[in-house]
Chains A and B, each alone.
Chain A
């Protein structure tokens, strides 16, 4: 673990320079350990692809004290989370009006569109980060046969609910946003609502499966 100062009010505990599922799992474990330790002056934390961001109030805890605590907690991180991950099924319609890039992705990957769908909906994904915009999950576990670069240039507007992939990750766009990922389909399931008690459906560490639905089921 490398501790990086991100200004006077944040520390980044970095577990890898590369995208690494084990590093993300360690970041989540440190997050849980820090939440249990609950030091005074802790403001908020954000586990992400390979690190944990820790924001704190420098008037209530010094960066040095917090760094020492993070070092201490990191020495005794459990290998597996204390509780089983939550599991979600996200319905996806892979039909034409929603599958903006399915045919093109299939061509570039050299496989039939049906195979892209089958491979995309087979794995159990893990949410490795929720970020960039509200409720937006980054998922690992994508079939390596589906790895494709982002689209250049990115689209300026993607419909909310777009289900996509780029490089080694899959995602779902909760709101209409710009984006460069390859769109395979769309989900009718809302992923974010500020009025919900938990505004984001998914949290880092959750498991996700995509469940193929028809256009009729999408509309129902």
Chain B
């Protein structure tokens, strides 16, 4: 009962909603770049919300089914997807039988998910199945997937059931600038730098992975000191090294860092930050903490309503 990896894509790993509680010993949360898409996949399959799935970055995998059958779903950044060469849709369940091949191509975004009903038979490490490749923790042998890997499944057969579909991805204004709360070290930057951050577009460079996105655009000037005595990082924080080019941190970031952080992307928009790819243009919009909390409530309501509207085909 497994999926055999034929083509591993660019950077494919097992991820769930993250490894919480270990930042104090230097272990970052990891977890899905687009947690909303992962939750959608689990919802349509009837899995627990935090079940682990296969995350593909920018380029999809090709896998062969080595089980009687599996029920699976694709969510996140869309791209060409086939089951034995016939096109299949994202955001719904499908059933594949032994020997069938699921293949994805280039994705129109940062991360897509291939989730299986019942999940993968992998043991959690430090409370999570997420892969933290830098330290070889979790997921499948602590590393990204390679051709020939055999990913064990929990179910040897998909239960008899109608296929199900989401009505649509969870609604979120994906074209709007990424909302940020200024700081934690906003006072270390010039007023001009703050205006620039909130008006100019920043392009994601090729230096982009699960640790962070190096951005290129109008330089952001520090007022005086450029570094701080290290303190805690958070996912979504935008740190600015001495050259003034910002770096947005993602779930595999280090636990601490010594660059001043000008702003932090709000929780409700992290799923959008996680979908950025080289060439993406990012814009930022400042909000107050209360607005960020309201945005998160709104997103959660939208997710609840979307998952409640899952229907049989």
Scan residues 1-59 of chain A and give those whose CB is less than 8 A from a CB of chain B: 4-10, 12, 14, 17-19, 43-51, 53, 55, 58-59
Of the candidates B23, B135, B231, B293, the one whose C-beta lies within 8 Å of that of A8 is B293
Q: Per a CB cutoff under 8 Å, which of A12, A194, A195, A200 touches B184?
A: A12
Contacting B230 at CB < 8 Å: which of A8, A48, A134, A195? A48
Contact with A along B215-240 (1 / 0, CB 8 A): 00000000000001111101011000
Provide the B108-142 mask, 1 if CB < 8 A to any CB of A, else 0.
00000000000000000110000000110110000
Where chain A touches its partner, the secondary structure class is loop
Cα–Cα, bound, A14→B126 (Å)? 28
0/1 interface trace, chain B 290-313, chain A, CB 8 Å (1 if under)? 001100110010000000000000
**Docked complex Cα distance between A4 and B289 (Å):** 12
Contact A133–B229 (Cβ < 8 Å): no
Q: A7-B237, A7-B265 are in contact. Are A48 and B25 (CB under 8 A)?
A: no
* Cβ–Cβ < 8 Å partners of B256 in chain A: 46, 48, 129, 131-132
Q: Are the C-beta atoms of B24 and A46 separated by less than 8 Å?
A: yes
> CA of A8 to CA of B270 in the docked complex: distance in angstroms?
11
Q: Given A5-B183, A44-B21, is A133 in contact with B135 using a C-beta cutoff of 8 Å?
A: yes
- A131 pairs with B300, CB closer than 8 A: no
- The SS class assigned to the B binding surface is mixed
Instruction: Please count how many residues in chain A sit with their CB below 8 Å of the partner chain's CB atoms.
Output: 44
| Cα distance A50–B230 in the bound complex, in angstroms | 8
Give the residues in chain B near A45, CB-CB below 8 Å.
24
Q: Are B125 and A6 in contact, CB atoms less than 8 angstroms apart?
A: no
Q: How far is the CA of A199 from the CA of B231 in the complex (A)?
A: 22
Measured between beta carbons, the chain A residues less than 8 angstroms from B181 are 5, 7-8
Residue ID in chain A nearest B23 by CB atoms:
A46
* A132→B255 contact, CB < 8 A: yes
Q: In the complex, are the beta carbons of B229 and A44 less than 8 A apart?
A: no
Closest 6 CB pairs of A and B: A53-B232, A7-B264, A8-B292, A200-B25, A4-B184, A131-B256
Extra A-B contacts (9), CB below 8 Å, given A8-B181, A59-B300, A135-B26: A5-B183, A7-B265, A8-B264, A9-B234, A17-B228, A55-B23, A58-B292, A130-B24, A131-B24
11 CB < 8 A contacts A-B: A8-B292, A8-B296, A12-B231, A14-B231, A43-B21, A44-B21, A45-B24, A55-B234, A63-B289, A130-B26, A131-B24
